[in-house]
Homo-oligomer: A and B are copies of this chain.
Amino acid sequence: MWRQGIEQLLREYSSVTARFMVLATADAAGLPHARTVVFRDWVDTNAFAIVSDVRHDKITQLTNNARFEACWYFGEARRQYRLGGTARILDGQGNATPEDQACRTRIWQGLSEATRAQYAWPTPREPLEPAALEAATAPPAEQAAPSTFCVVVCDVDHVDELQLDASPVPNRYEHRRIDGDWTRTALNP
């Protein structure tokens, strides 16, 4: 299955940057957006977690249109996974289940002090507020996740796997989840 392939690559390439992928979303006007995000953990068989400040555009976009595609390229291995699916925001608000609350808390507590400190910064992408930013650079003392913190659970339902390290031509596989089961089809590269 595609997930085992990624887990194998994460074992072989343990650098922080191996966990970087690019998350693409569409805004309310149907326009594409893309930014680098960090893979945090698997949170279900087919779902992985990233974290975000709720004030970022990607959260607005995913709230409006939950479909995402993440492009995860392992440069040293020359393997690309394009992971498509539906995102769910765990922001601790509303009717969050105990499981969702526990997931959000667990991932918050696993973050570094430096990463946690960012959630106290002034609103991202507003005109620079140097004083507010300076005042916020001390990490927050409390252990509880602040209201600005959310986990984005990315539930994957199709995968395009490209093995550029194969010779003489790359291998390409399409993985599709249908009624809970995964199919894998070899495609032309």
Contacts and interface: CB of A to CB of B under 8 A. Distances in A.
> What is the interface residue range for chain A against chain B?
35 or more
A34 interface: yes
B68 A186 contact: no
Contacts of A126: 187-188
Given A22-B71, A69-B33, A124-B188, A137 B82 contact: no
Given A20-B73, A75-B17, A169-B121, A68 B32 contact: yes
A46 interface: no
Interface string A113-142: 000001001111111110011000100000
Interface in A19-49: 20, 22-26, 30-36
Given A35-B82, A71-B36, A82-B35, A65 B125 contact: no
A166 to B, nearest CB: 11
B33 A24 contact: yes
A32 to B, nearest CB: 4
Given A26-B26, A26-B30, A125 B172 contact: yes
Contacts of A137: 168-169
Interface in A165-189: 168-169, 172, 174, 185-189
A163 interface: no
Interface of A: 17, 20, 22-26, 30-36, 65, 67-71, 73, 75, 80, 82, 84, 118, 121-129, 132-133, 137, 160, 168-169, 172, 174, 185-189
